[in-house]
């Protein structure tokens, strides 16, 4: 049986780095993607995303790498993990949000999930923050 792979991200101003990340994660198995909600992005990054959550979700769906694309839960970012029951959660090389509580959540829920960091793809060139002016 093919492994289930889960990734989380904002995916605002989609670029080659995002594509590389999704493609590398998909190599691990069936890919499920969680796109951050607008209010979550604003709270964590202290700026609104350029594209709204529905547009960002649609872009990920159109790329065609994911089995299913979800919008994140507004209250509990880890809730989807219990629903999907992934074998692997892939994190971006610079992903910081929700990482600290992830291992604690997995242990509390008694979930055996491998966490894998995906290497960077030209991080000095392909990073959303280089394209996006700050919106407050």
Active site residue 26: no
C-alpha–C-alpha distance, residues 131 and 134, integer Å: 10
| DSSP for 57-103, written as a single string | HHHHHHH---SEEEEPPSS-TTHHHHHH--SEEEE-TT--TTHHHHH
User: 30, 42, 47, 79: which is the annotated catalytic residue?
Assistant: 47
C-alpha–C-alpha distance, residues 88 and 1, integer Å: 14
- Using CA atoms in the order 96, 4, 114, 103, what is the torsion angle rounded to 10 degrees? 50
Active site residue 43: no
Residues 6+ apart with CB under 8 A from 38: 48, 49, 52, 53
- Positions annotated as catalytic residues are 45, 47
């Amino acid at each position: 049986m093919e492994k289930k792979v889960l990734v989380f991200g904002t995916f605002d101003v989609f670029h080659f780095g995002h594509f590389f990340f999704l493609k590398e994660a998909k190599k691990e198995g069936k890919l499920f993607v969680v796109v951050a909600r607008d209010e979550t992005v604003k709270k964590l990054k202290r700026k609104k995303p350029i594209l709204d959550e529905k547009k960002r979700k649609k872009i990920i769906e159109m790329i065609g790498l994911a089995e299913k694309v979800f919008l994140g839960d507004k209250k509990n970012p880890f809730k989807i993990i219990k629903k999907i029951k992934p074998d692997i959660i892939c994190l971006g090389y610079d992903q910081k949000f929700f990482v600290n509580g992830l291992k604690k959540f997995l242990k509390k829920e008694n979930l055996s999930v491998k966490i894998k960091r995906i290497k960077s793809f030209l991080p000095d060139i392909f990073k959303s923050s280089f394209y996006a002016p700050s919106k407050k």
